Every structure is written in C-alpha cells, then in structure tokens.
Amino acid sequence: DADVTQTPRNRITKTGKRIMLECSQTKGHDRMYWYRQDPGLGLRLIYYSFDVKDINKGEISDGYSVSRQAQAKFSLSLESAIPNQTALYFCATSDGVVGSYNEQFFGPGTRLTVL
Amino acid sequence: AQSVTQPDIHITVSEGASLELRCNYSYGATPYLFWYVQSPGQGLQLLLKYFSGDTLVQGIKGFEAEFKRSQSSFNLRKPSVHWSDAAEYFCAVGPYSSASKIIFGSGTRLSIRP
C-alpha cells in the first residue's frame, strides 16, 4: 500500500461548490503539506502543518482552508471553488526530525477541474 | 530571497544519449538540494539529495548531480537515457525559514526521441 494516499484522484466540480480533498499517510510523519501544481509554475505551497495543533499558511492560501484531524490525516478544502483553482494538488509529508533534512514524500495527486 | 531556476522548460534527447538538466538556486545559507521526478500521472519521487560532503551525488535510476557552490548550481546528469526517463523533473532547495520548507523550481519536461 502507498505511504501517502489522496482521495479523490480526480474531481470535476462547478463554480461555487465546496470541495474537500483528503490526504492520509502511514509513514508516521508529523509534518504534512498541501501543494498545487500548475503548468510552468512548479509546485506552490498552500498550507502546511507540523503537528495536529499547528497549521500555517503557505504562499497561496487564499481561497483554501485545511484541517488536521489526526497525525495521519490532513484535508484541504475549497469553500467556494472557482475556475482558476483548476490544478493538480499534491499532499506531502516529512518527519521533521532534527537532522533529517526535511525530505518530503508525495502522494499521487488529485486532479481538480472547476467548471 | 530564496529561489530555484530551471531555465529549460522542455528538453528532447535521443534514447541512449547523455542528459544534463540545469538548476540554479539563490539561497542565503548552505542549501539542501533535491531532484524529484514526476512520471505522467504520478506523484513526485525523490531522485537524489545533497546536504553536505562529496559534491557529486548519486541517485536512483542511474542519475547523478553535482553541487557547484561557486556557480550556485545543482545540475542533474545521466550518461545514457532510456525511454522510461521521459518525465518532468523538479529541482528544489531548502530549508528556508524555521519552518523548514522547501522551494521547487518550475520543472523541466524531458522527452525521449526513439
């Protein structure tokens, strides 16, 4: 089984709808991240969490919210989806151990289309 | 400000030919450097990483990268590419700030000519 899973893998929705993307991990890592990928822009950080009680905004958090339900689960919500949120979304984890250099492990991605 | 530049958006090489993908970074301290690969429809997989020590780093799938501090570069190389190497490649640098985040380049798409 994959260490980092994302559901759904693909989603098509309409403008104004509320959408939740879910991420689960079995790596036992404390740190979790949400990125979006757009062609030519690489990966941009939306939110990150270093533990259940620690949530932080990334560089493009507007229009998004997150919930860290447990160490293993980190959900990304679009409260009112808009077409320019059409993108590929990735969840990632890292262990945060001092000296581990913060290598990140990625899920397979969720392709979201907002019509 | 910290940044990563991958100047080549798309590269095509013939199968069996050598490959070099460029990465330049701007970072105020000793960087941790990474190369990730994203195959079509897949997530990102770590190819290799550099933290310290030997500036030539070996990774998986026959890839290597060389850290050159004087040029602020961390170029990825492979002596002989295979059709299965067709993918998108991302260079990344970190950590930045106490949050230990990493910054990704915009990616280079590699196509393989039969």
A13-39 pLDDT, tens per residue? Answer: 999 999 999 999 999 998 999 999 998
pLDDT of residue B96: 54
CA distance A94 to A30: 7
pLDDT of residue A1: 59
pLDDT of residue B14: 97
pLDDT of residue A98: 60
* Residues in chain A within 8 Å Cβ distance of B41: 108
Matching residue, tokens 């933290």: B51
Our separate counts of H helices and E strands in chain B read: 0, 12
Q: In chain B, which stretches have pLDDT less than 70?
A: 95-100
The two tokens of residue A47 are: 């939110």
Q: In chain A, which stretches have pLDDT less than 50?
A: none
pLDDT of residue A42: 86
Q: How far is A80 from chain B (nearest CA, A)?
A: 26
* Residues in chain A within 8 Å Cβ distance of B90: 42-43
